[in-house]
């Protein structure tokens, strides 16, 4: 009985599943095609289940007179088996056709307006924006911006282990495999902020491997790209200035790139405009001066096992570095 109550409550709560990371909240051409397919399959299977349960109940409850001695009873089993086989065949063929048609819809957008290379690694996302000819424009981390209504082509790569690229509200998931390039094309039909998540277990911090997708109108998107293409500013104020000097003199610059400065490391995220991003550590923290300071001060407590080492800083240096990073808009 308790089990049944839990199931009913779960059903009620799950019905409310939605928000910015839900395949049921489809806001793009691919995710809508997938949602339509799964709705058809679940509806047909649900209907069949109801029919089977109904037949079972009818068979159990109906009253039958006892057969007379020696009378041969025809249960109609042969007919039922034939009907089941024919019905199952028709349904499997229909589902296969529907799946094929959906896959065609997913692959239809080939010549995309926006080209991005997404490289997954334990446990963050590197996004490289390219122009139409495949020329490098700029790099960002854990945050994608895309224009509404335009096709986006993402080349999926992985550096270390298998990851999986998934923005449930916008597209189906696709694996990212070391040494292999997979391509996913999708489109957002409505402006909004969506959440992407690694969908393949890839180690200790797999669940903390998320990213933000900002779908915005063409004008805002263009403004954002112009800002991202520009080299880093030198944030005003003595504290930020001192922070820049600390950053460049410590090992930070060996792992991170800040375009327009001497920092040109490539093993960590490009920080040229880190202050303009919404999240830090692949969706784990909101970007504020406080979280930047906390992350630099103790990355292994916040996200155990990640590749960011502890760089010993005095409290003054920590304040200065966080002021500098926050100012990199
Ligand atoms: Cu990357 Cu899970």
Residue 109 pLDDT more than 60? no
Band of residue 248 on the pLDDT scale cut at 50, 70, 90: very high
* Ligand 1 neighbourhood includes 120 CB (under 6 angstroms): yes
Q: Kindly report the protein residue whose alpha carbon is nearest to atom 1 of ligand 1.
A: 163
| Closest approach atom of ligand 1 to CA 207 | 2
Asked if the bond preceding 123 is cis, omega within 30° of 0, the reply is: yes
Q: How far is the CA of 262 from the centre of ligand 1 (A)?
A: 31
Q: Could you tell me the pTM of the whole model? A: 0.82
Residue 13 pLDDT more than 80? no
Task: Determine which of 55-59, 120-124, 156-160, 196-200 has the lowest per-residue pLDDT on average.
Answer: 55-59
Taking residues 269-283, report their average pLDDT.
Answer: 96
Tens of pLDDT along 287-301? 999 999 999 999 999
* Ligand 1 neighbourhood includes 100 CB (under 6 angstroms): no
Task: Determine which of 74-83, 265-274, 293-302, 309-318 has the lowest per-residue pLDDT on average.
Answer: 74-83
* Ligand 1 neighbourhood includes 208 CB (under 6 angstroms): no
* Cα distance between residue 306 and residue 143, in whole Å: 18
* Ligand 1 neighbourhood includes 206 CB (under 6 angstroms): yes
Residue 111 pLDDT more than 90? no
Q: How far is the CA of 177 from the centre of ligand 1 (A)?
A: 11
pLDDT value, residue 249: 95
Taking residues 85-93, report their average pLDDT.
Answer: 92
Nearest to 29 by CA among 90, 108, 127, 124: 108
What mean pLDDT value characterizes the chain? Answer: 90
Q: Tell me the DSSP string of 31-74.
A: HHHHHHHHHHHHHHHHHHHHHHHHHHHHHHHS--PPPPTTPPP-
Q: How far is the CA of 200 from the centre of ligand 1 (A)?
A: 5
pLDDT value, residue 73: 72
| Closest approach atom of ligand 1 to CA 122 | 1
| Closest approach atom of ligand 1 to CA 209 | 1
């Amino acid at each position: 009985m308790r089990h049944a109550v839990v199931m009913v409550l779960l059903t009620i709560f799950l019905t409310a599943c939605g928000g910015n990371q839900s395949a049921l909240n489809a806001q793009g051409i691919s995710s809508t095609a997938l949602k339509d397919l799964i709705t058809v399959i679940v509806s047909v299977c649900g209907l069949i289940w109801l029919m089977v349960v109904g037949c079972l109940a009818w068979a159990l409850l109906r009253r039958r007179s006892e057969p007379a001695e020696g009378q041969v009873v025809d249960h109609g089993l042969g007919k039922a088996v034939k009907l089941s086989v024919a019905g199952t065949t028709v349904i499997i063929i229909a589902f296969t056709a529907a799946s094929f048609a959906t896959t065609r819809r997913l692959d239809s957008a080939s010549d995309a307006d926006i080209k991005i290379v997404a490289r997954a690694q334990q446990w963050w996302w590197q996004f490289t924006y390219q122009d139409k000819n495949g020329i490098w424009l700029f790099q960002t981390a854990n945050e994608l911006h895309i224009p509404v209504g335009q096709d986006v082509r993402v080349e999926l790569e992985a550096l270390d282990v298998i990851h999986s690229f998934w923005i449930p509200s916008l597209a189906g998931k696709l694996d990212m495999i070391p040494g292999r390039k997979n391509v996913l094309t999708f489109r957002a039909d409505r402006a909004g902020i969506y959440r992407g998540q690694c969908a393949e277990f890839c180690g200790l911090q797999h669940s903390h491997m998320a990213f933000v997708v900002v779908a915005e109108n063409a004008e805002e998107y263009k403004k954002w790209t112009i800002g991202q293409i520009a080299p880093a500013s030198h944030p005003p104020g003595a504290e930020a200035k001192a922070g820049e000097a600390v950053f460049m003199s410590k090992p930070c610059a060996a792992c991170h790139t800040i375009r327009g400065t001497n920092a040109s490391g490539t093993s960590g995220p490009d920080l040229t405009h880190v202050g303009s991003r919404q999240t830090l550590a692949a969706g784990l923290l909101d970007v504020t001066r406080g979280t930047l300071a906390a992350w630099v001060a103790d990355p292994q407590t916040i996200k155990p096992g990640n590749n960011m080492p502890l760089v010993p800083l005095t409290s003054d240096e920590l304040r200065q570095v966080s002021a500098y990073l926050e100012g990199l808009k």
